[in-house]
Amino acid sequence: MAKVRTMADARREQRRAYWTLVLPGFLLYISVMAFPTIFSVVLSLTNYNGGKLFGGRVPIELVGLKWYQRLIVDEYFYLALKNNLWIVMVSVFGQIPLGFFLAYVLYRGLVKGRDFFQTMIYLPTVISTVVIGILWKSFFAPHGAFPELMRFFMPGYEYSLSQHPMIPVLFVILWMYSGMYMIIFIANLQKIDNTIIEAARIDGASEMQVLRYVILPALSGVIVVTAILAISGSLKSFDLIFIMTAGGPANRTSVLSIYMFDKAFKGAPNYPLANAISTVMVIISFFLIGLTKFAENKFGGRE
C-alpha cells in the first residue's frame, strides 16, 4: 500500500515517534532521580540543621562552599577515600585478572565440566548483599568460624584481623564479583575469530605468545568496559560494607558512601555535609571514568 507522504510528514512522524519513545522513561527517571539530586546539591550549599525541611522553625540560608571546605580538612574523609581507592584497586587488578584467568582456563578447555564451573563460580553474584554481608560478618568475627578454620591449619593462630579490618571486606568483594567478569570474558573470548589463532599456532606460536599477541589485544575494548563498570561500582559500594562493618572500628573500613550516610543519619544529622560528600563522589567518578576513557584512546583497542 503506497502512502503518499511528504518529507514534512515523515519528519513529523519521526519526531512524534521520538518523543513517544523517549519521554515516558525520561519523565519517570527525572521525577525520581533528578529532583532529589538537585535538591541534595542545593542543600549542600545551605546551613540546614535538622528539623522540618519546609515550614520549619528555622529558615534555611545559603552558605556557599562552607561544607566543602570542612570536608577537605577532615582526616576521615581521606581515610574513606583511601578505602574507596583500595576497592577500585582490588576490583580492577583483582577481580578482572582473576575473572580473565578463570575465563581463559574454561575457554581453552583446559578442564572439563565447563558448564558446572561456570555456574558455581558465578553463583555468589546473584545472592543478596544482605545475606552475604551477614554471613561473612559472622564468619570473620573473633569468635567466628574463620579463627577456628585457621587454627585447624595453623594451631596457635592468633586472631589479628581487627588490626586490618579492611582485609575481610576486600576479600568478600573479590569473592563476590569475580564470577561476573569471568562470564563476560568467556563470551568475548568466544567471539575471537578462531582462524587467527589457528594461523598463529601453525606458525609455531606458544600458548603464552598467542595470549599476548592475539587474545589480549582483541579484548582490550572489553577490558576497558569492565574497568569502567568496576570503577563506578567501587565508588558507589555501600550495601556490603554497611552490613559487614558499618565503617568498621574507628572508620577504618569506611568508604565515601558510608561516611556520607554517617553524617546524614548518625547523631545529629548534617545533611548539607552529607550531600556535599555525595556531590564530591560524583565528581570523582567522572574523573576516574574520564581517565579510563583517556587511557583507552591512548593505548587503543583494536577490536
Partner 1 sequence: MNDIKDHSSARSRISTTITYLVMIFFTVMALYPLFWLILSSFKTTTEFQMNKLGFPRRWVTINYKDAWVRGKFPVLIANSLFYTTVTTLAILLLSFMAGFGFSKIRHKATAVLHGSFVIGILLTLQSIMVPLFLIVNWVGLYNTRLGVLIPYIGIGMPMGVYLGTEYIRSIPDALVESARIDGASYSHIFWRIIVPMAAPVGMTVAILTVTGTWNEFMLINILTSSDALKSLPVGVQKFAGALSTDYGKQFAALTIGLIPMLLFYLIFRKEITKGVAAGAVKG
Partner 2 sequence: MVRLVCTKYELMNRRLHPVGMMGKKGEGKTLNKMVLTDHLEVEMTGLRKVAVLLLALVVLGTSLVAQGVKADAEDGKITLNVLNYIDMSEPNSANEVKMIWDRFEQENPDIKIVREDLFNEPFHYKTEAYIASGQLPDVVYMWPSGRSTSLHTTGSVKDLMPLLERDGLVKDYNPAALAPQFAGFLGELPNGITTTHMLFVNKKVLRDNGLPITTDFNEMKKMVPVLKAKGIELIAMDNMDDWVMQSCLFSMVVGRYGGVDWYDRLEAGQLKFTDPWFVKSLELIDDMYKSGMINRNTLGSPYGASRSSFATGKAAFLIDGDWATGSFMTDVTTGDALINAKAQADDFELMVITNLPGEVVHNSNSGVVGTGWGMSADIPAGSAREEAAWRLIKFLQGEYVQTYRLTTGASFPSNLKVDVAKIAREENLEPFITKRADYYNNYVPITPVIDGVLHSDVFNVINKGLQEIGLGSKAPSVVAAEVQRAWEAFLKN
Output the nine-digit C-alpha cell for 201: 599456532
Of 145 and 250, nearer to partner 1 (C-beta) is 145
Q: Which of residues 65-124 bind partner 2 (CB under 8 A)?
A: 76
State how far the Cα of 98 lies from the Cα of 92, in Å rounded to an integer. Answer: 10
First to last CA, the chain: 43
What binding mask, one character per residue, do residues 217-256 give for partner 2 by CB under 8 A, x or -?
-------------------------x--xx-xxxxx----
| Residue 150 binds partner 2, judged by CB under 8 A | no
Q: What angle do CA 135, 146, 250 make, to 5 degrees?
A: 75
Q: How near is the Cβ of 64 to partner 2 at its closest, in Å?
A: 18
Output the nine-digit C-alpha cell for 124: 555468589
Of 166 and 255, nearer to partner 1 (C-beta) is 255
Of 119 and 297, nearer to partner 1 (C-beta) is 119
Q: 221 contacts which partner out of partner 1, partner 2, none, CB within 5 to 8 A by kind?
A: partner 1
Of 20 and 195, nearer to partner 1 (C-beta) is 20
| Residue 162 binds partner 2, judged by CB under 8 A | yes
- CB-CB contact of 244 with 168 (8 Å): yes
Binder among 24, 34, 39, 50 for partner 2 (CB under 8 A): 50
Binder among 3, 57, 112, 298 for partner 2 (CB under 8 A): 57
| Residue 140 binds partner 2, judged by CB under 8 A | yes
Residues that bind partner 2 (CB under 8 A): 50-57, 76, 137-138, 140-144, 159-163, 165, 242, 245-246, 248-252, 261, 264-269, 271
